[in-house]
Amino acid sequence: MRLAELSKRSGVSTATIKYYLRERLLPQGERITATQAEYGEEHLRRLRLVRALIQVGRMPVATAREVLEAAEDESLSQNSRMGTAIWALPHGAEPDQDDPQAARAREQVDTLLERMGWAYCQELGDTSPAYRTLTAAIASLARLGYPHDTEHLLLQARLAAELAVADLDLVEAYDTPAERIEAAVALTVLYEPVLLSLRRLAQTEESGRRFGE
Amino acid sequence: MRLAELSKRSGVSTATIKYYLRERLLPQGERITATQAEYGEEHLRRLRLVRALIQVGRMPVATAREVLEAAEDESLSQNSRMGTAIWALPHGAEPDQDDPQAARAREQVDTLLERMGWAYCQELGDTSPAYRTLTAAIASLARLGYPHDTEHLLLQARLAAELAVADLDLVEAYDTPAERIEAAVALTVLYEPVLLSLRRLAQTEESGRRFGE
């Protein structure tokens, strides 16, 4: 398809598509004349992912490019490409190395991974950004004197494991490794606000039941 | 206690405490001489909450003040104060009224609330920021052509309901309404990164099991 059709089918203006091409967020089309290029379904798919990252996830262009490069690195296995792309997504605060609570939080995270039997995560340890974000979050809870016992974290981890099975089922429904990696990245970004808003709605409901008139 | 002790017990510098006092994030102490004031346990507790909002939640001072004012409004019931304070927390994107997907997403959210039997949420409807964030998130999924079927959302809502019961158990363990409201706000902010990082860890694990070598 030509640029005009790519724009029409994706709902992204031609000016924005040209910007994404210049910024290398979208691979060049196949040049057919000096001024025209031909685009395929993979451009359409990539455009959806770029919009998910930039327009919905409000990601800086440089970060989005990093995520896309990781997703495309053909020297890696499917699982590594998926993992590398997701690791390149923005994460929360990093633990403060000087905080004595951070060392204790780290032990707690290790216990949690052990008890969940999350062997892949144990192997990755603190090279995983999510491991570090979790450590920082638990250290904050501890430093501010709020509850953070392992049983409560275990409950959350078990629910997260159920979610992950459903999330990966969505990903596996795509046919090719390229589509699966793109879907995994997009769904990670797009489902986080779904999860957080459902949690707040559920809290409103539970609070109404307990404390409402 | 005097300012120096409040600083020592809270781990917040006296300069920062003075800044919070000036910005009305912390109520004034009881003045005992022209230059000295006495602070109580409620100041210590409030200081923890302010740090959770500003230092961990990276909230602007004006937003934090709004959250705290809502938490303190004695004309409201305990449940309303808790709800109003949590509604004042930052939320995600708002739905775009001109987007035809937003109207469809709204219907889907209404179906979800109906099927979950979330009567309080149904009554609040789109006055609740979480309702609007959820609508916007589902509209994005639909617009970008990613899966967003009601069954998948229902699974997430059921897990969120389980989380909410555990969250409210933590809140109810505090004795007074003031402490409960403060804990509800702090725990909402502090547990969001815990939940998101656990989900990413669980996805890494599940992905490793399915696609790893």
Do B161 and B199 lie in one domain? The reply is yes
Do B52 and B152 lie in one domain? The reply is no
**Cβ partners under 8 Å of residue A141, min gap 6:** A147, A148, B190, B191, B194
Do B161 and B140 lie in one domain? The reply is yes
B172 occurs within a structural domain:
yes
Contact A165, B206 (CB under 8 A): yes
Of B30, B65, B87, the residue at which a domain comes to its end is B87
B94 occurs within a structural domain:
no
Q: Which of A98, A205, A209, A210 to mutate to test the interface with B (most CBs of B within 10 A)?
A: A205
pLDDT tops 90 at residue A35: no
Are the beta carbons of B210 and A172 separated by less than 8 Å? yes
pLDDT in the model for residue B7: 94
pLDDT in the model for residue A178: 85
pLDDT tops 70 at residue B31: yes
pLDDT in the model for residue A37: 92
Task: For residue B163, give how far its alpha carbon lies from the nearest alpha carbon of chain A (Å).
Answer: 7
pLDDT in the model for residue B173: 94
B95 occurs within a structural domain:
no
Distance CA A91, CA A130 (A): 7
Contact A199, B160 (CB under 8 A): yes
Cα-Cα-Cα-Cα torsion B164, B169, B173, B178, nearest 10 degrees, comes to 30
Domain with residue B51: its CATH number is 1.10.1660
Do B140 and B207 lie in one domain? The reply is yes
Task: For residue A33, give how far its alpha carbon lies from the nearest alpha carbon of chain B (Å).
Answer: 30
A104 occurs within a structural domain:
yes
pLDDT in the model for residue B99: 84
Size of interface A-B (CB pairs under 8 A): 281
Do B81 and B21 lie in one domain? The reply is yes
Q: Which domain holds residue B45?
A: 3-87
Are the beta carbons of A120 and B211 separated by less than 8 Å? no
Do A70 and A108 lie in one domain? The reply is no
For A72-98, how does the pLDDT look when each residue is reduced to its tens digit (9 = 90+)? 888 888 888 888 888 888 888 888 888
B153 occurs within a structural domain:
yes
pLDDT in the model for residue A135: 96
pLDDT band, very low/low/confident/very high, at A213 (cuts 50, 70, 90) = low
Are the beta carbons of B211 and A161 separated by less than 8 Å? no
pLDDT tops 90 at residue B77: no
- Residues of chain A by 3-state class (helix, strand, coil), percent to 5: 70, 0, 25
Do A61 and A118 lie in one domain? The reply is no
Q: State the average pLDDT for chain A.
A: 91
For B2-23, how does the pLDDT look when each residue is reduced to its tens digit (9 = 90+)? 999 999 998 899 999 999 999 9
Of A44, A77, A110, the residue at which a domain comes to its end is A77
A82 occurs within a structural domain:
no
Q: State the average pLDDT for chain B.
A: 91
Are the beta carbons of B197 and A166 separated by less than 8 Å? no
Q: Which of A197, A209, A210, A213 to mutate to test the interface with B (most CBs of B within 10 A)?
A: A197
Task: Please compute Rg for chain B using Cα positions.
Answer: 21
Q: Nearest by CB to A137, from B116, B134, B194: name it.
A: B194
Domain total of chain B? 2
CA distances (Å), origin A96, targets A127, A130, A138, B113, B123: 15, 15, 12, 40, 43
Do B112 and B184 lie in one domain? The reply is yes
- The more confident residue out of A87 and A213 is A87
Do B17 and B78 lie in one domain? The reply is yes
Do A114 and A170 lie in one domain? The reply is yes
B22 occurs within a structural domain:
yes
- The more confident residue out of A162 and A91 is A162
Q: Nearest by CB to B152, from A166, A207, A213: name it.
A: A166
Q: Which of B203, B209, B210, B213 to mutate to test the interface with A (most CBs of A within 10 A)?
A: B203
Are the beta carbons of B134 and A159 separated by less than 8 Å? no
For A109-129, how does the pLDDT look when each residue is reduced to its tens digit (9 = 90+)? 999 999 999 999 999 999 999
B23 occurs within a structural domain:
yes
pLDDT tops 70 at residue B119: yes
Do B24 and B114 lie in one domain? The reply is no
Contact B182, B45 (CB under 8 A): yes
Of A44, A62, A77, the residue at which a domain comes to its end is A77
pLDDT tops 80 at residue A60: yes
Do A71 and A105 lie in one domain? The reply is no
pLDDT band, very low/low/confident/very high, at A99 (cuts 50, 70, 90) = confident
